[in-house]
Structure formats: structure tokens, C-alpha cells
Amino acid sequence: MAKNDKKEAAEPNKLAMIILAAGKGTRMKSPLPKVLHPVAGRPMIEKVIQASKKAGATDLRVIVGHGQALVRSVVEPMGVSCFVQENQLGTADAVKAAQVETIEGDVVIMNGDHPLIEAEDIKKFITLFREEKCDLAVVTAVVKKPGEFGRIVRHKGDLKAIVEAKDASADTLKIREINTGIYIAKAETLAEYLPQIKNHNAKKEFYVTDLISLCIEDDCKVMAIKASPKVAVGVNNQQELAHATKLLFKRKALRLMEDGVLMIDPASTYVEESVEVGAGSVLFPNTFLRGSTKVGSFTVIEPHVFMSDSEIGDSVQVRAGSYLEQAIVHSRASVGPYARLRPQTTIGEEAHVGNFVEMKKVKFGKKSKAGHLTYLGDAEIGEDVNIGCGTITCNYAADKKKYQTKIGNRVFVGSDTQFVAPIEIGDDVVIGSGSTITKNVPAKALAVARGKQVIKENYTPKAPAQPKSEE
């Protein structure tokens, strides 16, 4: 042990994570690996990895098996190492697959289907584990309905055993303190006792819970660390997936309100953890904000707005039913109702994008307006421009390439105008309604391109006389 003591002294705060993600998740009734099912918008294992990193883990090892190619595609870009559990022989077998003999310091073992875990939770477990100088610990929680969880049996306050629900007596089943499936151990403890676990059970599997009894029998320092019931929330079926999502959205809503965000109905407002919203902003019911979205202060997001990876300034109004993806809206602008801003669209300060207006890859200038029923794509629109109803930039040509429309400052575009790109419109231009503009227009010009109106008087023939009906 002297050698191990030296290793621990050299790396007193080194932390490793073993995240179990090899299971099939048959109760999900889904072809997608269980840990990749989205909880509040992101794969649940992603949340476990993020919490682990924030807690200070520098060595993260994910155990993969079923659907490993898909799991790897999600977790490896996050900087973790994947280890394969070749056969489903139980949780201890999965931990062995992590090559524990190559790990140093303290190790947290947990499942990849616990999306409610947070960095602060892990930090608390580790701090208590180290303060008590434990060799092994199991994280427990007291819950209202223990169900199929293993029960924590104590004697004079100390951990005595973990009894699985199927093996428990009627009295033991009354115990409400359960095993969350999270363990903390010294690396050398795992290396020593994992090989001693036997598969003497009906399923012929190796269970990590057996570490507890082995270490207790060997007079190691073992303890049960009580945690919040949320730590015990795992996901095994679609109902639990929906419940976990609801809890995460609720947690985010509470934190936003604590920071001064107004919510009309938090229960029907869906904001992902990664989203930022400034104080004084108002979120109406049935809004969905996701990804890297940032919303400034004093902005109003009306009902049924979907916003993804977008940046919204201060004092913006996004009216009902609008859809924004990878868009930027500067301060004091208004969008909607029922507007769509597609990727690479930027709306300038005090600009107005009205109902049933769609923009894609557009720079829309300060104080410019597009009131309704308009499509603008691959365009640069100057400041203080008026875009009339029914205006279209014809950016997609017969050669299957897209071309750009450039419109200068203070341009007035009449209704039902088409700009056939590539085309440039100078400053202070007036475009007559109903025009199809195919040539560049210089500054301060009037452009009208429409068929000549023809009037033929007395053109409508008289209606034939109707026969009189016989009486």
C-alpha cells in the first residue's frame, strides 16, 4: 500500500469517470441506443459527460456496446475515450472493460442514463468521499416510491448491505433509501476487488454492487452518501424520458425566473439548458428556445415561437408563430407574427419583418421594413428600405446556382415586385409596383417593368335577354 499511498499523494485531486453506456435499453422500444435519446433537446449521455467535466474529471471513459458506432459519433467529439464491453455480462463486467488498472486517483462510476446529474452533485460526492478517506462509497437517495431500486440496509447508521428488490424481504422493501447506481472508489480499490466478483446468480452476470460486500468483509472504509432524489432519476422507457425532459425544462425555467426573466406559464415554456435569456425579458407559453440561442434584456417572445441557435438583442419583439434558426436580430427590431428567418439572416436595429415573410441568408438593414408576404434570399438590403407586399428575390437560377440581390439605402419597393438576381439597386431608388426587375438600377432612379395597360371601352358584351317564364 505504500506504493499506492505515494501515487495518491502525487495525484491527490485526480478524478476519473467511468460512464456505462453499453446497454440495449430494450424497454425504450426504439432502435436508437438508449443513452442517445434526447432529454430536453440533447442526448442524455451528453449531459452526464458535461457534468463530469465541470466537476473536474480529466479522464472520462465511456463503456460502449449496443449501437457503439452511433454512441461514439456523439461522445468522442466531446473528448472522451470509448471502451467496448464485448458481451452483456453485468455492470461489473462493464467497469472491467474500462481497464481500471490504468486509472489513477479517484473514480466515479455511473450510468449514462442519468441526465439530471449536475457538476455540483458530483463535486459534493467527491468532497465527502475524500474528507472521510473512503475506499469505496455508494450514492443513495430517499425516494417516495423505491420500486425496483436496490435497498440500502444500515446498521447503527453505517452501510451494511445493498439488497436488490427481488431478493428483499417484506420489511426490507419498506426501506425508502435506495441505491442510485453511482459509486466512488479509489482506483486501486477497483483494481483489487473487481476481479474477485463472482457471477453466482440466476443471470450469471457480474454485479458492481458486490464490491460493497467484498470491501466491507475486508474492513475497507465504505460508506453510503445521501444525495437529492433527482440523482436517482434514470431513464429506462419513453415515459421516464418524457418525465426527465419535463424536470429539466422546469429546472431551467426556475433558474431563469430567479435571474429576472418573466414567464407567463413556466410549465409550457421550453428552454434548453444552453440558452441564455436576459433579465426583464418575457417568455410567453408554448415557446421553444434551443441550442446556442441568446436573448437580450426586455425582449418579448410571444406564443408558439421556435428559436434555434439564434441571437436576439435587447427590446426585440418576436411575435407569435415565428420560426428562427441561426439568425441574428438586433435591438429594437420586430419579427412576425408568422415570420421565418432561416440561417445566416441578420436583421438590423429597429427593422421590421412582418407576417408571412421568409428570409434566408439576408442582411436586412437598420429601420428597413418588409411588412408581409415576402421572400428575400441571398440578399443585402440597405437601411430605411421599404419592401412592398409580395416582393420576391429570384435567387435560384436555371443553372441550379444561387445569385445575390443588392438593394441600397432608402429604396422604396412597390408591391408584387420580383428581382431577378444577380442584380444591384442603387440608393434612393423607387421600384414601381408589379415590376420584374432584371437589370441594375442606378441611384435615385424610378424603375418600372410591367406590361402596358390596355383599355378597350364597351368591350363587355350585353347579356342575352332571358326568356320570360310562362305564368
CA distance 437 to 392: 10
440-469 per-residue burial string, b: 16 or more CB within 10 A, e: under 16? ebeeeeebebeeeeeeeeeeeeeeeeeeee
pTM of the full structure: 0.88
CA distance 409 to 364: 11
pLDDT at residue 172 in the model: 93
- According to DSSP, residue 224 is labeled E
Strands 106-111 and 177-186: antiparallel
CA distance 59 to 251: 28
* Number of helices followed by number of strands (H, E) in the chain: 9, 37
Are the C-beta atoms of residues 392 and 375 closer than 8 Å to each other? yes
Query: Is there a shared CATH topology between the 2-232 domain and the 238-447 domain?
Result: no
Mean pLDDT split into 10-residue runs, the chain, 471 residues: 43 86 92 96 96 96 96 97 94 96 96 96 96 96 92 92 88 95 96 94 87 94 94 94 96 98 97 97 98 98 98 98 98 98 98 98 98 97 98 95 97 98 98 97 96 87 68 53
pLDDT at residue 2 in the model: 40
List the beta strands (DSSP E) in 230-333. 262-263, 270-271, 276-277, 282-283, 288-290, 294-295, 300-301, 306-308, 311-312, 317-318, 323-325, 327-329
3-state secondary structure 181-214: EEEEEEHHHHHHHHHHCCCCCCCCCCCCCHHHHH
In angstroms, how far apart are the furthest CA atoms of the chain? 124
Name the residue among 74, 224, 72 with its Cα closest to residue 140.
224
Domain limits of the chain?
Answer: 2-232, 238-447
pLDDT at residue 470 in the model: 61
CA distance 141 to 152: 9
pLDDT at residue 9 in the model: 43
CATH number for 2-232: choose from 3.30.990.10, 3.90.550.10, 2.30.140.10, 3.30.365.10. 3.90.550.10
CA distance 269 to 339: 20
- Give me the catalytic one of 114, 330, 352, 372: 372
Annotated active-site residue 37? The verdict is no
Axis-axis angle for helices 44-54, 119-131 (nearest 10): 50
- H-helix segments, 273-402: none
CATH architecture of 238-447: 3 Solenoid (2.160)
Our measurement of the distance from residue 278's CA atom to the centroid of its chain's CA atoms, rounded to an integer in Å, reads: 19
pLDDT at residue 12 in the model: 57
